[in-house]
Structure 1
Amino acid sequence: MAERAHGAVAPPTHSTIAGASWYGQDIVQQVHTAVLFRDLDMSEVHNTGSVFTDCTFRHARFSTSTHVDAAFVNCTFVACKFFEASFSDCKFTGSMFDGCMFDLMKVTGGDWSFAGLPGADLRRASFAGTRLREADLTGARCQGGSLRDLDLSGAWLHSADLTKCDLRGSDLSALEPTNVQLQGAVITALQALVIAEALGLDVRAED
């Protein structure tokens, strides 16, 4: 299993829900704490305002589900499928993802600060306007993906592959250009200046 940042231990769970099917259900403001969800089917679920804290999801299916103003705080996701899942203004602070599938997942807004996504395959996922401060994106595969207008301040980006990734509007202050793949990445002129300065270039106005 991928390790959390700084060797932090996953929070323990105190109860288990195994093999449950919530397929197509409307989930409104449910609250779950320290629950192990094993083989949970959340496909096509409409989740509004529910809060999951210190929960673990193993082999859960979130395919084509929609989540609005929901929270998954300090949760652990192992081998979960997020195919075409949509998260709007959701909170994933401190959550950890290990061996998950993110194809066509769409994230808009929300707070994913301190989230652990090491080695995540985000090539067909999109994030827009999301807070990812100090998130662990070590070795993340983002080729051709979309990471627009993100707060990536303090994020761990070592060995991330951002080839042809759309990074416009994102905070790249934590980026070390020599430790990532950036060929063909789409950026703005202001971001190009940030990267040039990170490379030690002395950028000046023309005389």
Structure 2
Amino acid sequence: MADRPRTRPAPPTETTIDSADWDSRDLSGETYRRVAFVDVDMTEAFGRGADFSECHFRGVRFNASIHTDAAFVNCAFTRCTFFDTTFTACKLVGSVFDGCTFDLLKVDGGDWSYTSLAGADLRRATFDGVRMREADLGGARCAGATLRGLDLSGAWFHNADLSRCDLRGSDLSSVNVQTVTLAGAVIDPYQAVTIAAGLGFDVRGDIERAGRRPRAPR
């Protein structure tokens, strides 16, 4: 099977905000469309309901910022830092991340469907209860990450490293165990059945034999 294309062009922008100091800025209710943010410092920025549409963030520092009910739809993030950043109930549908860092990123709820996180280092990130339908996680490094309760239907995982990852409650129906690393990943019993079925096992319940030990050979 051919690899899914991982790159999408950044959206065209009409205005530019360059090298601005938005440290601790309250972004509540602010709206931006087709704006290029270049080397902007958004450290400890915060707010509820900010709306960024088709924007391009280049070299932006989102460190320790807190975003609630915000939208970053069809945006591109290039070489941005998300150290200890929190997204709560945010919408990032169709956004692309390239060359970004995500240490201690926390995502709680929201919709990240169709996002591209191809090749991203998410080893110290936490995603909980997020909708990520058809997201591109090809080649993503998620060893030891927390990816719990995610809707990952149709997501792309080719060559992703999910070893030691907490995947409990997530939809793993699109995970091809032959093309990802899963050693030590934590899953629940329902997911174990789904993966076994994906490997071609005929999973059945046998009440009569349940719990019996194998007979010792005579």
Structure 1 length-normalised TM: 0.96
What amino acid does structure 1 have at the position aligned with 2:22? W
Deviation at 1:9, TM superposition (A): 3.0
* CA distance in structure 2 between the partners assigned to 1:162 and 1:173 by the alignment: 15
Q: 1:93: which partner in 2?
A: 93
* CA distance in structure 2 between the partners assigned to 1:201 and 1:192 by the alignment: 11
SS at match of 2:60: coil
Q: 1:31: which partner in 2?
A: 31
Deviation at 1:11, TM superposition (A): 1.6
Radius of gyration: which is bigger? 2
Is the contact made by 1:5 and 1:136 (CA closer than 8 Å) also made in structure 2?
A: no
* CA distance in structure 2 between the partners assigned to 1:38 and 1:137 by the alignment: 26
Deviation at 1:163, TM superposition (A): 0.3
Deviation at 1:7, TM superposition (A): 5.5
* CA distance in structure 2 between the partners assigned to 1:32 and 1:74 by the alignment: 12
Deviation at 1:6, TM superposition (A): 6.9
Structure 2 length-normalised TM: 0.91
Q: Deviations over 1:150-207 (max 9, x none)?
A: 0000000111100000000000011111110000000000000000011111111125
* CA distance in structure 1 between the partners assigned to 2:66 and 2:7 by the alignment: 32
* CA distance in structure 1 between the partners assigned to 2:119 and 2:141 by the alignment: 6
Deviation at 1:5, TM superposition (A): 4.7
Kindly report which structure 2 residues correspond to 1:36-55, keeping only aligned pairs within 5 A, or say none: 36-55=36-55
Q: Deviations over 1:75-133 (max 9, x none)?
A: 00000000000000000000000000000000000000000000000000000000000
SS at match of 2:197: helix
Is the contact made by 2:135 and 2:156 (CA closer than 8 Å) also made in structure 1?
A: yes
Q: 1:187: which partner in 2?
A: 187
Residue 130 in 1 paired to residue 130 in 2? Answer: yes
* CA distance in structure 2 between the partners assigned to 1:86 and 1:8 by the alignment: 25
Residue 65 in 1 paired to residue 65 in 2? Answer: yes
Is the contact made by 1:5 and 1:116 (CA closer than 8 Å) also made in structure 2?
A: no
Q: 2:147: which partner in 1?
A: 147
Deviation at 1:28, TM superposition (A): 1.0
Deviation at 1:47, TM superposition (A): 2.1
* CA distance in structure 2 between the partners assigned to 1:27 and 1:172 by the alignment: 35
Q: 1:166: which partner in 2?
A: 166
* CA distance in structure 2 between the partners assigned to 1:20 and 1:200 by the alignment: 55
What amino acid does structure 1 have at the position aligned with 2:43? S
* CA distance in structure 1 between the partners assigned to 2:8 and 2:119 by the alignment: 18
Is the contact made by 2:8 and 2:96 (CA closer than 8 Å) also made in structure 1?
A: no
Structure 1 segments unaligned to the other structure (5+ residues):
none
* CA distance in structure 1 between the partners assigned to 2:140 and 2:7 by the alignment: 18
Equivalent pairs, count: 204
SS at match of 1:179: coil
Q: Deviations over 1:8-32 (max 9, x none)?
A: 4322011111001110111111000
